[in-house]
Amino acid sequence: MKKKIQLFAALFLTIGATCTVAHAQSNDAPKAEFGIKGGANFSNMYTEDVDDNNVLTSFNAGLFVMLPITDFLAIQPEFLYSRKGSELTYDNVIANGTAKFKLNYLEVPILLKANLTPNFNIHAGPYFAYLIDAQTTNETEGGTFDFEDNFDNDDFNKFDAGVAVGFGFDFESIGIGARYNYGLTTVGKERSFGATDYTFPDGKNSNISVYVALKL
Protein backbone atom coordinates (compact mmCIF):
# COMPACT_ATOMS: atom_id res chain seq x y z
CA MET A 1 0.00 0.00 0.00
CA LYS A 2 2.89 2.39 0.80
CA LYS A 3 4.28 1.79 -2.70
CA LYS A 4 0.90 2.75 -4.21
CA ILE A 5 0.82 6.01 -2.24
CA GLN A 6 4.44 6.84 -3.19
CA LEU A 7 3.78 6.10 -6.87
CA PHE A 8 0.65 8.25 -6.89
CA ALA A 9 2.44 11.10 -5.09
CA ALA A 10 5.34 10.99 -7.55
CA LEU A 11 2.93 11.06 -10.51
CA PHE A 12 1.00 14.00 -9.07
CA LEU A 13 4.17 15.99 -8.32
CA THR A 14 5.40 15.40 -11.88
CA ILE A 15 2.12 16.66 -13.32
CA GLY A 16 2.13 19.62 -10.95
CA ALA A 17 5.69 20.59 -11.86
CA THR A 18 4.91 20.38 -15.58
CA CYS A 19 1.80 22.51 -15.13
CA THR A 20 3.67 25.11 -13.07
CA VAL A 21 6.26 25.53 -15.82
CA ALA A 22 3.51 25.91 -18.41
CA HIS A 23 1.80 28.52 -16.24
CA ALA A 24 5.04 30.48 -15.79
CA GLN A 25 5.54 30.57 -19.57
CA SER A 26 2.04 31.86 -20.27
CA ASN A 27 1.30 35.58 -20.03
CA ASP A 28 -2.41 35.16 -20.78
CA ALA A 29 -3.31 32.56 -18.16
CA PRO A 30 -6.75 33.10 -16.52
CA LYS A 31 -6.88 34.61 -13.03
CA ALA A 32 -7.20 32.65 -9.79
CA GLU A 33 -10.65 32.19 -8.27
CA PHE A 34 -11.61 31.81 -4.60
CA GLY A 35 -14.80 30.56 -3.03
CA ILE A 36 -16.71 28.59 -0.43
CA LYS A 37 -18.33 25.21 -0.88
CA GLY A 38 -20.39 22.67 0.99
CA GLY A 39 -22.66 19.71 0.56
CA ALA A 40 -23.61 16.21 1.64
CA ASN A 41 -21.42 13.17 2.37
CA PHE A 42 -22.51 9.56 1.91
CA SER A 43 -19.81 7.51 3.62
CA ASN A 44 -19.00 4.03 4.82
CA MET A 45 -15.91 1.92 5.46
CA TYR A 46 -14.48 -0.91 3.41
CA THR A 47 -11.98 -3.71 3.99
CA GLU A 48 -9.78 -5.61 1.56
CA ASP A 49 -12.41 -8.33 1.17
CA VAL A 50 -15.82 -6.93 2.04
CA ASP A 51 -17.55 -3.63 1.33
CA ASP A 52 -19.55 -2.15 4.21
CA ASN A 53 -22.91 -1.00 2.86
CA ASN A 54 -23.96 0.89 6.00
CA VAL A 55 -24.03 4.43 4.64
CA LEU A 56 -23.78 7.43 6.98
CA THR A 57 -25.31 10.63 5.58
CA SER A 58 -23.47 13.74 6.79
CA PHE A 59 -21.87 16.93 5.43
CA ASN A 60 -18.77 18.74 4.18
CA ALA A 61 -17.98 22.48 4.10
CA GLY A 62 -14.98 24.69 3.48
CA LEU A 63 -12.93 26.87 1.13
CA PHE A 64 -11.33 26.39 -2.28
CA VAL A 65 -8.96 28.25 -4.58
CA MET A 66 -8.68 27.51 -8.30
CA LEU A 67 -5.27 28.29 -9.83
CA PRO A 68 -5.59 28.21 -13.63
CA ILE A 69 -2.68 26.99 -15.70
CA THR A 70 -4.39 27.28 -19.07
CA ASP A 71 -8.02 27.56 -20.16
CA PHE A 72 -8.06 23.76 -20.04
CA LEU A 73 -6.14 22.91 -16.84
CA ALA A 74 -6.12 24.20 -13.27
CA ILE A 75 -4.89 23.14 -9.83
CA GLN A 76 -7.55 23.36 -7.12
CA PRO A 77 -6.55 23.01 -3.45
CA GLU A 78 -9.37 22.88 -0.91
CA PHE A 79 -9.62 23.12 2.88
CA LEU A 80 -12.66 21.26 4.20
CA TYR A 81 -14.38 20.09 7.37
CA SER A 82 -15.73 16.66 6.46
CA ARG A 83 -17.62 14.09 8.52
CA LYS A 84 -17.26 10.44 7.54
CA GLY A 85 -18.03 7.09 9.16
CA SER A 86 -20.75 4.46 8.92
CA GLU A 87 -24.27 3.71 10.13
CA LEU A 88 -25.95 0.49 11.23
CA THR A 89 -29.72 -0.03 11.48
CA TYR A 90 -30.76 -3.03 13.59
CA ASP A 91 -33.94 -4.75 14.72
CA ASN A 92 -33.75 -7.62 17.22
CA VAL A 93 -35.62 -9.02 20.23
CA ILE A 94 -33.96 -6.52 22.59
CA ALA A 95 -34.32 -3.28 20.66
CA ASN A 96 -34.46 -1.66 17.26
CA GLY A 97 -32.65 1.50 16.33
CA THR A 98 -29.69 3.11 14.60
CA ALA A 99 -26.02 3.19 15.63
CA LYS A 100 -23.71 5.76 14.02
CA PHE A 101 -19.91 5.91 13.99
CA LYS A 102 -18.76 9.46 13.15
CA LEU A 103 -15.25 10.64 12.18
CA ASN A 104 -14.66 14.39 11.89
CA TYR A 105 -11.75 15.42 9.67
CA LEU A 106 -9.96 18.51 8.45
CA GLU A 107 -9.37 17.51 4.84
CA VAL A 108 -7.14 18.97 2.12
CA PRO A 109 -7.69 17.69 -1.44
CA ILE A 110 -5.20 18.88 -4.06
CA LEU A 111 -6.89 18.39 -7.41
CA LEU A 112 -5.87 18.63 -11.04
CA LYS A 113 -8.92 19.99 -12.84
CA ALA A 114 -9.54 19.56 -16.58
CA ASN A 115 -12.18 21.76 -18.22
CA LEU A 116 -13.56 19.56 -20.99
CA THR A 117 -16.03 22.29 -21.98
CA PRO A 118 -16.49 25.86 -20.67
CA ASN A 119 -19.02 24.54 -18.14
CA PHE A 120 -18.00 20.92 -17.49
CA ASN A 121 -14.90 19.59 -15.73
CA ILE A 122 -13.40 16.41 -14.38
CA HIS A 123 -10.91 16.46 -11.51
CA ALA A 124 -8.62 14.08 -9.65
CA GLY A 125 -5.82 14.12 -7.13
CA PRO A 126 -4.73 13.10 -3.65
CA TYR A 127 -6.38 14.14 -0.42
CA PHE A 128 -4.87 14.38 3.05
CA ALA A 129 -6.91 14.55 6.26
CA TYR A 130 -6.42 15.02 9.99
CA LEU A 131 -8.83 13.43 12.48
CA ILE A 132 -10.28 15.99 14.92
CA ASP A 133 -12.46 13.62 16.94
CA ALA A 134 -14.69 10.56 16.75
CA GLN A 135 -17.93 9.55 18.40
CA THR A 136 -20.62 6.90 18.41
CA THR A 137 -24.32 7.49 18.94
CA ASN A 138 -27.15 5.03 19.43
CA GLU A 139 -30.82 5.89 19.01
CA THR A 140 -33.51 3.32 19.82
CA GLU A 141 -37.27 3.35 19.60
CA GLY A 142 -38.51 4.69 22.92
CA GLY A 143 -35.03 5.95 23.88
CA THR A 144 -34.26 3.10 26.31
CA PHE A 145 -30.74 2.45 25.00
CA ASP A 146 -29.87 5.90 23.66
CA PHE A 147 -26.30 7.10 24.25
CA GLU A 148 -23.49 9.23 22.83
CA ASP A 149 -19.80 8.48 23.44
CA ASN A 150 -16.84 10.62 22.44
CA PHE A 151 -13.50 8.93 21.73
CA ASP A 152 -9.98 10.20 22.15
CA ASN A 153 -8.63 10.47 18.61
CA ASP A 154 -5.46 8.75 19.88
CA ASP A 155 -7.55 5.57 19.63
CA PHE A 156 -7.49 5.94 15.84
CA ASN A 157 -5.04 6.89 13.12
CA LYS A 158 -4.91 10.68 13.19
CA PHE A 159 -3.98 10.98 9.52
CA ASP A 160 -5.87 9.71 6.50
CA ALA A 161 -4.85 9.89 2.86
CA GLY A 162 -6.38 8.70 -0.37
CA VAL A 163 -7.46 9.48 -3.91
CA ALA A 164 -10.29 11.80 -4.98
CA VAL A 165 -11.99 11.77 -8.41
CA GLY A 166 -15.05 13.67 -9.55
CA PHE A 167 -16.83 15.92 -12.01
CA GLY A 168 -18.50 19.30 -11.88
CA PHE A 169 -20.48 21.95 -13.71
CA ASP A 170 -19.16 25.52 -13.45
CA PHE A 171 -21.15 28.66 -14.20
CA GLU A 172 -20.38 32.34 -13.73
CA SER A 173 -20.64 32.47 -9.93
CA ILE A 174 -21.74 28.99 -8.88
CA GLY A 175 -20.68 25.39 -9.40
CA ILE A 176 -22.13 21.98 -8.58
CA GLY A 177 -20.54 18.57 -8.67
CA ALA A 178 -19.92 15.14 -7.18
CA ARG A 179 -16.77 13.39 -5.99
CA TYR A 180 -15.63 10.01 -4.70
CA ASN A 181 -12.88 9.69 -2.05
CA TYR A 182 -11.10 6.33 -1.79
CA GLY A 183 -9.14 6.06 1.45
CA LEU A 184 -5.80 4.26 1.59
CA THR A 185 -5.29 4.40 5.38
CA THR A 186 -6.93 2.11 7.94
CA VAL A 187 -9.09 4.08 10.37
CA GLY A 188 -8.22 2.02 13.46
CA LYS A 189 -4.87 1.38 15.09
CA GLU A 190 -3.43 -2.06 15.69
CA ARG A 191 -3.84 -3.19 19.30
CA SER A 192 -2.93 -6.24 21.34
CA PHE A 193 -5.31 -8.29 23.46
CA GLY A 194 -3.28 -10.98 25.19
CA ALA A 195 -1.45 -12.85 22.45
CA THR A 196 -3.79 -11.56 19.75
CA ASP A 197 -3.27 -8.47 17.61
CA TYR A 198 -6.34 -6.79 16.18
CA THR A 199 -7.36 -3.53 14.49
CA PHE A 200 -10.64 -1.78 15.23
CA PRO A 201 -12.22 -0.50 13.16
CA ASP A 202 -10.42 -2.54 10.51
CA GLY A 203 -11.68 -0.47 7.60
CA LYS A 204 -10.79 2.46 5.33
CA ASN A 205 -12.87 5.48 4.46
CA SER A 206 -15.07 5.42 1.38
CA ASN A 207 -17.07 8.57 0.67
CA ILE A 208 -19.26 10.07 -2.05
CA SER A 209 -19.86 13.79 -1.73
CA VAL A 210 -22.10 16.18 -3.64
CA TYR A 211 -21.45 19.89 -3.34
CA VAL A 212 -22.38 23.44 -4.28
CA ALA A 213 -19.56 25.97 -4.73
CA LEU A 214 -19.91 29.77 -4.64
CA LYS A 215 -17.18 31.94 -6.17
CA LEU A 216 -16.30 35.07 -4.19
Give percent above pLDDT 70 in the chain: 73
Residues 166-205: tens digit of each pLDDT: 999 999 999 999 999 999 999 988 766 666 665 767 889 9
Tally of domains within the chain = 1
Specify the CATH number for the domain of residue 90.
2.40.160.20
Q: What is the per-residue DSSP string for 109-157? A: EEEEEEESSSSEEEEEEEEEEEEEEEEEEEEETTSTT-EEEEE-GGGB-
Higher pLDDT, 199 or 42: 42
Mean pLDDT of 147-167: 86
| Amino acid found at 77 | P
pTM of the model: 0.78
Q: What is the pLDDT of residue 89?
A: 73
Indicate the pLDDT class of residue 25, thresholds 50, 70 and 90. very low
Residues 57-88: tens digit of each pLDDT: 999 999 999 999 999 999 999 999 999 998 87
* Residue-range definition of the domain harbouring residue 26: 2-215
Residues 87-146: tens digit of each pLDDT: 877 666 566 778 788 999 999 999 999 999 999 999 999 999 999 998 888 777 776 667
Residue 98 and residue 139 in contact, taking contact as beta carbons nearer than 8 Å: yes
